[in-house]
Amino acid sequence: MTIATTLKSFLDERSVPYEVVRHPTTPSASRSAEAAHVPGDQFAKAVVLKDHSRYMLAALPATRRLQLGRLHHELGEHVGLSTEDETRDLFPDCERGAVPALGTAYGIEMLVDDSLADQDEVFIEGGDHQSLVRLSGEAFRSLLGEVRHGNFSTRV
């Protein structure tokens, strides 16, 4: 399978250089990072969230765990995890559990953990369990645009 159509179109329309990195099928972001021999701090995993009226995507390194309490404090509001059905509806061209950490490609508000701010390279899920997309850190941050940043994770 190739990377998700929406993600590919988003990257190509913006003429962003990227590389698709193939790896054996894996069940999680941390395992994908291991299989592709990618440092976990450079692998941006996606966590899909919702509040009472909208969805958001939090991007954080695979080596870290989202802390909802910290996120609530950062946002000044309560959010929860989206359901699998909601996530499938938001990312229809992605396999379950392989959501790219680029909500902007799908028109979804982004939140980015500060621990991703200084990475030279960033890898994201390609929309399936066999491919990652490698971006320069600069390209990743430019694709995010104006997004909220914060310290809402802890090291696993």
Distance between CA atoms of residues 124 and 6, nearest Å? 14
Residue 84 has a CB neighbour count (10 Å cut-off) of 11
**% residues pLDDT > 90 (the chain):** 76
Q: Is the pLDDT of residue 151 over 80?
A: yes
Which DSSP helix (H) or strand (E) runs through 136?
strand 131-136
Instruction: State the alpha helices, DSSP H only, in 14-136.
Output: 29-35, 68-75, 84-90
- In angstroms, the first-to-last Cα distance of the chain is 30
What would the pLDDT profile of 50-68 be if each residue is shown by its tens digit? Answer: 998 899 999 999 999 999 9
Is the pLDDT reported for residue 115 higher than 60? yes
Q: Which of 23-32, 36-45, 67-76, 132-141 has the highest mean pLDDT?
A: 132-141
- pLDDT confidence of residue 26: 77
Mean pLDDT across the chain: 92
pLDDT digits (tens, 9 = 90+) for 93-111: 999 989 999 999 999 999 9
Higher pLDDT, 52 or 125: 125
Mean pLDDT value across residues 100-129: 94
- What domains can you pick out in the chain, each with its CATH number? 5-151 (3.90.960.10)
